[in-house]
Amino acid sequence: MTQSYKHLFQRSLAANADRLHFAAHSHHLWPDASWLGHQAAWEDAARLADTKWRRVMEEMWPAGQGHVARELGLPDPSSVCFAGNTHDFLIRIVSAIDRRPVRILATAGEFHSFTRQAARWVESGEVVLETVEAGEGVEERLVERARSGDHDLIVVSHVAFGTGRVFGALSDLAAVAAPEGPWVLVDGYHGFMAVETDFSAYAGALFYTAGGYKYAMSGEGIGFLHAPPGFAPRPGITGWYAAFDDLSAPLGGVGYAPDGRRFLGSTFDVSGLYRFVAVRDMLAREGLSTATISAHVAGLRDQLIGGLDRSPLGDMEIVNPPGPVQARFLALRSPRAADWQAALLARDVYTDVRGDVLRIGIGLYHDARDVEAFCDAATKL
């Protein structure tokens, strides 16, 4: 039987003991360490008041940068910037491009935070958007168009949120990217802390953004960006924290921090950063690396696939079959996907659906008994 880590999630599990939550890829349940981090943010604000920002920017900020850099293999933690969400970084990157309309290339399988904003920019004439179909062969199609020189910005998910497919041509996109354009933004939200990612070879060429809501287990309010040096030095949408080093400088001109902080906005809620650092510190103490967690999840995923054969879900097509690099959710395709998701939810079993794909997410808080309970629920569909 697989090991259980439920003791790290006692508060979240006890809050709804009857729920069977298999949507860790969507809203990951928070470990107890996040509660302590959230408390620490409040207590520091009460204890330090105005001077809390010294602790935030001189202690918590570099601690968070260090955790991101170690996870991704970044050579310089100062390339990392934090914000309330990844959307903030998307609009700042686009604001740094001088050309209008901005020419963007993306896959047709990007997440809503990009697709909605891009659609609105297209409506207003600020962006010309070209998409390539997701699925098999997406790497070849995207790289071929990226090499054309027809685009200012290229956007691609490291792990596709709908299908769980891992994009395998980052090195080809890094070869195309240049400070003068095009720039490449990798959406890592469904890959960060879900698949082992060594970004060291691309750190000088590619942007990478992700956040705490999913596999980082830290909740909302904490997004981050790795910004390669020399790319987008002066975002057009900016806040006073982006000149944090120059607050005592005389007025005149718009200054920017020389590192990732050039993408900062204005005053922000620090509690997400505290939660992220607390969770990462806890994982380090417990010896739980992304590889260790992935191995735990892989065993449960194999049990799940075997157990579904006795239910109607066993007849669904597995969109992302097990492989050497695997997302933390099982994607199953069927015309009845939405019906199955609703029927499971009626039994207090949480999954989610994207079109005709049912997604079953597995996390650190699951064990073999949970998978067995899920399979039993599925037999009743």
Per-residue pLDDT of the chain (381 residues; tens, 9 = 90+): 568 999 999 999 999 999 999 999 889 999 999 999 999 999 999 999 999 999 999 999 999 999 999 999 999 999 999 999 999 999 999 999 999 999 999 999 999 889 999 999 999 999 999 999 988 899 999 999 999 999 999 999 999 888 888 999 999 999 999 999 999 999 999 999 999 999 999 999 999 999 999 999 999 999 999 999 999 999 999 998 898 665 444 466 788 998 999 999 999 999 999 999 999 999 999 999 999 999 999 999 999 999 999 999 999 999 888 877 677 889 999 999 999 999 999 999 999 998 899 999 999 999 999 999 999 999 999
Half-sphere exposure of 67 (CA within 13 A, CB side): 28
Pick from 296, 282, 314: nearest CA to 216: 282
49-88 core/surface letters (b: 16 or more CB in 10 A; e: else): eeebeebbeeebbebbbebbbebbebeebbbbbbbebbbb
Q: Which residues, at least 6 apart from 33, have a Cβ–Cβ distance to it below 8 Å?
A: 8, 278, 279, 281, 282
Phi, psi of 303 (to 5 degrees): -60, -40
Measure the N-to-C terminal CA separation of the chain; round to a whole number of Å. Answer: 26
Q: Which domains does the chain have, with CATH numbers?
A: 6-30+289-379 (3.90.1150.10), 34-283 (3.40.640.10)
Beta carbons of 332 and 313 less than 8 angstroms apart: yes
290 CB burial (10 A radius; 0-12, 13-18, 19+): middle
153-157 and 102-107 as β-strands: parallel, antiparallel, unpaired?
A: parallel
pLDDT on residue 163: 80
- What DSSP character marks residue 281? H
Task: Give the strand order in the sheet containing 317-318.
Answer: 317-318, 329-333, 357-361, 352-354
Q: Strands, E, within 56-168: which ranges?
A: 80-83, 102-107, 127-132, 153-157
What would the DSSP string read from start to end of 6-43?
Answer: GGGGHHHHHHTTT-EE-BTTTSPPPPHHHHHHHHHHHH
Rounded Cα distance between 79 and 73, Å, is: 12
Q: Residue 94: CB partners within 8 Å, gap ≥ 6?
A: 102, 104, 121, 127, 153
How far from the centroid of its chain's Cα atoms is residue 164's Cα? 13
Q: What is the pTM of this model?
A: 0.94
Q: What six digits make up the tokens of 361?
A: 């997410």
